Chain A
Amino acid sequence: MSDSTATDEAGLTAVIAEYLTEKLEVDGVVSIEDLTRIAVGWSHETWLFDAVWTDAAGTQRRGMCLRRDPGNALLRETSDLAQQFRVLRCLEATQVPAPKVFWYEPDSVSLGGPAIIMEKVAGECPSPWRRAGREFYAAAADRGVLPLSFTDSLAAIHNVDWAAAGLDFLGVPAGGDDFAQSEIRKWRELIEASGHSGHPILNDLIGWLETNAPTTDRLTLVHGAFRTGNVLIHEDRVSAVLDWELQVIGDPMYDVAYMLTALNRQDTELLSNVVPRQLFVERYESATGITIDEDRCRYYQLLYAMRSAAFWMSAAGLYADGSNTDLRLARTEWSVTVALEQAAQELGY
Chain B
Amino acid sequence: MTPGELLHRLSGSLRSQIGPAVGDEYTRTQAFMASVILERLSKQVELQSAHGEAERADMIALCAQLDPVLALAPDQVRADLESAVSTCRLDDLGPLIDSLYEPEVEPELRDAALGLLRPVLRRDIDRRMAIAT
Contact = CB atoms under 8 A, between A and B. Distances in A.
Contacts of A200: 90-91, 93-94, 96-97, 117, 121
B51 to A, nearest CB: 13
Interface string B69-87: 0000000000000000000
A207 B122 contact: no
B133 interface: yes
Contacts of A207: 97-98, 100-101
B129 A341 contact: yes
Nearest to B97: A203
Contacts of A198: 91, 94
Nearest to B90: A200
B121 A344 contact: yes
A199 interface: yes
Contacts of B132: 334-335, 337-338
A334 B40 contact: yes
Contacts of B101: 207-208, 210-211
B36 interface: yes
B33 A349 contact: no
B18 interface: no
B94 A349 contact: no
Interface in A308-337: 326-328, 330-331, 334-335, 337
A170 B48 CA distance: 46
Interface string B102-125: 000000000000100111011011
A20 interface: no
A164 interface: no
B129 A337 contact: yes
B129 A204 contact: no
B56 to A, nearest CB: 15
Given A40-B26, A207-B101, A201 B33 contact: no
Interface of B: 26, 29-30, 33-34, 36-37, 40, 90-91, 93-98, 100-101, 114, 117-119, 121-122, 124-126, 128-129, 131-133
10 contacts: A198-B91, A200-B117, A201-B121, A207-B100, A331-B37, A334-B132, A337-B129, A340-B125, A341-B128, A349-B119
